[in-house]
Amino acid sequence: MVDVQHLTGGRCGDAELKMGSVTSHFGPLCGKEEKREEERLFRANDRPFNLSYRYADNAIKTAKYNLFTFLPLNLFEQFRRLANAYFLFLMVLQLIPQISSLSWFTTAVPLILVLTMTAVKDASDDINRHRSDKQVNNRLVDVLIDGELRNEKWMNVQVGDIIRLENNQFVTADLMLLSSSEPLNLVYVETAELDGETNLKVKQALTVTGEMGDGIDALAGFKGEVRCEPPNNRLDKFKGTLSLDGQTYSLDNDKVLLRGCTLRNTEWCFGLVIFGGPDTKLMQNSGKTIFKRTSIDLLMNVLVLCIFGFLALMCTVLAIGNAIWEVREGSVFTVFLPRDQEASAALSSFLSFWSYVIILNTMVPISLYVSVEIIRLGNSFYIDWDRKMYYPKSDTPAQARTTTLNEELGQIKYIFSDKTGTLTQNIMTFNKCSINGKAYGELFDFSGQRVEITEKTDRVDFSWNRLADPKFSFHDHSLVETVRDGNPEARAFFRLLALCHTVMPEEKKEGELYYQAQSPDEGALVTAARNFGFVFRSRTPETIIAMELGRQVVYELLAVLDFNNVRKRMSVIVRSPEGKLTLFCKGADTIIYERLHPSCNKLMEVTTRHLNEYAGDGLRTLVLAYKDLDESYMDEWKLRHHEASTAMDDREERLDQLYEEIEKDLMLLGATAVEDKLQDGVPQTIEQLAKADIKIWVLTGDKQETAENIGYSCNMLREEMKEIFVVSANTPEAVGEELRNARRKMCPDAAEEPSVIKGRAGLFWLQKTERVEDEKTEGEYGLVINGHSLAFALEKSLHLELLRTACMCRTVICCRVTPLQKAQVVQLVKKYKQAITLAIGDGANDVSMIKAAHIGVGISGQEGMQAVLSSDYSFAQFRYLQRLLLVHGRWSYLRMCKFLQYFFYKNFTFTFVHFWYAFFCGFSAQTVYDEWFITLYNLVYTALPVLGMSLFDQDVNDRWSFQYPQLYSPGQLNLYFSKKAFVHCMMHSCYSSLILFFIPWAAMHDTVRDDGKDVADYQSFALLAQTCLLIVMNIQLCLDTHYWTAVNQFFVWGSLAAYFAVTLTMYSNGMFLIFTTSFPFIGTARNSLNQPNVWLTIFLTSLLCILPVVAFRFIVIQLQPTVNDKVRHKLRKEALPAPEPRLPPARRISTRRSGYAFSHAQGYGELVTSRRFLLKRPLRSRPALFAQTDSPLAQNQPQLYRTIAEEPEERPPQSEREPRMF
């Protein structure tokens, strides 16, 4: 995705997409900077007033070019590449007859080819962007214009318009919610595009606007004026006010629907457009696209600059040589080569300088760039075609969305990952429970060994329960038997789960009941109770109606003691049909244990043991308890509760005291264990990447407890770690102190101040760099840091302390972070670690992080596609990341490095031979080879063999790559291609060129054929030199190739065969007779190649070039073998490793648990007891929650009930009822 830019009303403005309306990239050229928007003011239903502010409309533009700007802009971008500009300059030189020793087309044809290929690729990408923009901009929505609803295109929607949305529609722009079809003016939205989460979020309109309902006249007459914050990328915050009829109402994030959300389970709603198009928070999070280039690309730029300097030096030496030769020897030749009258040694020297610039330009041939693009394209296709990265459930293949970054996948040092939707599926499942000291949910064989539960494991049959959810899966049959056999504790356990919650049931049509759960945890627990026979059916503000084992029972709801972050528990007080008063409570184990009756101590010990086991499995735990209440006490408590809830002062404190008083001496029932389901293979992938010395940081918007839980589930945090530091201070000083204390514990000997190594890099070494070295620690540590603490730690005074401390840890988890903070963390590591980074996520809140990292990966498939649109690579499952890096990334890096080393070697050797020959041809700029050989050397004779190696070579196959992740580390250290490797390559080329020139020269010097005829002429020498060169280059390539395929063999032997075929044809009599001037080497091949001494010279030259290479490599492998050498030696002796068998995970015991499993917000207790949520609207038939059945939301949340006949309220006699605990 490119910069999201948009031309608004012809104005010119700031081209950066940060705050305010965004203009096109020609904005800065207008010479007038527009002020940044500081506050937004607009009126509903008043287009003329709103248009005067020239706010951006709802059209988006992500394309770079149009029909008129494509050619100039694209050529301008391409000629900004140093190499392209250099080749254009060369072509101009070749058009000057006095200095051109080669035809102009030898440079023009490859240059035009490269420019055309790149332009076609850019045009194709931009056409796709135009199509995408057109598709989005032409979607239709109902807009209220002049008192009537009209169907308008999205791009025509303006700020201040009122629009109508229907169920399952995408939200058109950022809207202020006005009214909805639901009670209490609620709407339910799915935010998968924004944050990757599939559980529904609740939004609520203001009462004053909600009263308008769907009355068109009332909505058309609405004249509210809104003042709010300017456009920004904060997805979780909104500040504004609505002025209406002299009253001012506060607006916050709960009143706003963001573009990218989908309306769910809501028949209709009306909204007022606040931000449109590029100003929406979704597009603001798209950020500014940075043109990403690999470290090898940047290194090549520097090397090409060095080569230009070296080329200029060589040409200068030869030009000086020409001047000296002209003065000393040139006069001898004037008899048969008379000079022009104006010619002089100085002019001759000047012209020869430019002639040699043309001849020696093969040091950086344009075919280098063509080949690099082909190799990258080929390796991208391998990713697209890899069946092992294809996810059949959602029919999603892996996709390389960019072709320019493949080799950098083999150099990753840091991975920054989102949690929800990336590591987890955002699906909660009720896995295990402990009831009255007995654990349920695990299976054991006859020997008492734990059996791993898989998809094939026999599931519990819930067919006896007509209301059971068919998608619910449980495997321990004993729990159902316990409940059905009348166990009072088990029944009380599930009764509590069916009653103690804030879930809102909703019956769309007869028999179809949906749960609106504020967190998937609550949904999972209520669904579990449903399947075990205790079905939460409906609620009113005063009652809860449940179906208990087929009988309808009505409980009177007396109070809801709501959850908050301090209490970490919630309770309900209910009166049973028999008049029994009971308090049901669920919450964090530490909180509930403090409030238990002393008689529960023994049961608490057993339950704690079960909780430790569940925590060891990475499950989210809750403890359940109850208490029987006395009627008289309850009446007195309710009176005090009413007084406290209506008090003007200290209301919260007084209520908390009352809650504390009643929530004590509880009786323990048991504990639940809910699994926040990880994506398949996440722990194994993280373990593999850790073995490859890749550090993984999790940056999530989730709360600390949830993130820590997932850290343990993924094996990122482990009990064996020496210490896990938690930074959660609320002031800069305290955060700095916590970071310093952690660092001192990990590395007591480290200096107090970080040592920052300053240097220079980039083209012409203009870029200043700062690097912080890694510091060694003994043992493994983890770091967990909260969002508010991270905000202080990222400030200039503390950011290096944060970096030092975090980089000493094996695992870093940042919780409650904003999209901007995610990007800042990535930028911090990029700047000071000079390491290659990768960011992976699945929602719009991850886009800024994906764009900030060197490589961005989007998780595609079920969740939102916003991250995918901004990513460089995408696939459906996190586990595919290990294959992308350890196989494709490593091979791409290896192939590219081999290609560059070999390419520079063959071209330097080719060029250096020209240099040595200059000393024997009077520095006359004569070429040592035939002109046709020079033209075809890079295009035909050596192009395919090196491409074959660069597309197919692999040191070891994919199985061995997984078996030994350590093979990945050389890429991180950039060992295979660096400035040092380049110098080695030049020295090798210099040696080879000396052999390739002087051995043939000495062998041909004053030599005659066996019949006495002369063979020591220029043409025979040229043929011998070029034949030796080509054979040596092919042998060198064979030595560099580790993996031979039929294609490689064909390319190597085919190129040699092509050389001899072309040579014999071009040096034949027929070609000379047809094109006399173009093919002057008549008969040379016949004259030379039938002589034994010529073939012996070729053999000797090849031997002297190759033997030192073989000897050097042998000695290095013996004395200093690399990881690759060791593994390749091992695989010669061993069979291919079999895939590792799946073993049941070892039981881990943990004393660390989730403090509280719920992720829902405070305040829903008040909502469910509010009378206003029972406002009746006409019941209409509505579509199902989802049209598509494969959606994760439809499969998991909310749950769908089967139709049953409404049974009359029944109060069975005591003898028929099950035994009760209360």
Axis-axis angle for helices 367-385, 105-137 (nearest 10): 40
- Vertex 167 angle, CA 166 and 173, to 5°: 60
Per the listing, tokens 């060198």 go with 1036
**Backbone φ, ψ for residue 678 (5° rounding):** -75, 155
CA distance 538 to 1204: 14
- Vertex 905 angle, CA 900 and 909, to 5°: 150
| Chain mean position to CA 768 | 28
User: Is 399 in contact with 384 (CB distance < 8 Å)?
Assistant: yes
CA distance 93 to 98: 10
**Backbone φ, ψ for residue 812 (5° rounding):** -125, 130
Smallest Cα–Cα separation from 113: which of 936, 900, 911, 939?
A: 939
CA distance 503 to 831: 47
Tokens of 201: 């979020």
- Cβ atoms within 10 A of the Cβ of 756, count? 11
Q: How far does the chain reach from its first CA to its final CA, in angstroms?
A: 62
Smallest Cα–Cα separation from 404: which of 296, 302, 299?
A: 296
Give all strands of the β-sheet with 723-727 in edge-to-edge order: 399-400, 873-875, 855-859, 836-841, 412-417, 695-699, 811-814, 781-785, 723-727
Give all strands of the β-sheet with 201-204 in edge-to-edge order: 201-204, 186-190, 262-264
Residue 418 among the catalytic residues: yes
User: Is 20 in contact with 34 (CB distance < 8 Å)?
Assistant: yes
CA distance 992 to 1032: 9
User: Is 36 in contact with 20 (CB distance < 8 Å)?
Assistant: yes
CA distance 301 to 772: 25
The dihedral of CA 440, 442, 447, 448: what is its sign? Answer: negative
CA distance 576 to 555: 5
Smallest Cα–Cα separation from 25: which of 12, 9, 10?
A: 12
User: Is 1079 in contact with 1070 (CB distance < 8 Å)?
Assistant: no
Contacts of 752 (CB under 8 A, 6+ apart): none
Axis-axis angle for helices 520-531, 488-499 (nearest 10): 140
Contacts of 1137 (CB under 8 A, 6+ apart): 959, 960, 963
Long-range contacts of 71-74 (CB under 8 A, 24+ apart): 74/118, 74/119, 74/122, 74/123
Q: DSSP string of 347-416?
A: HHHHHHHHHHHHHGGGGS-THHHHHHHHHHHHHHHHHHH-GGG-BTTTTB--EES-SS-GGGGGSEEEEE
The dihedral of CA 1103, 1108, 1112, 1113: what is its sign? Answer: negative
Peptide bond into 1198 cis (omega under 30): yes
* Annotated catalytic residue within 126, 174, 195, 418: 418
Would you name the residues annotated as active-site residues? 418
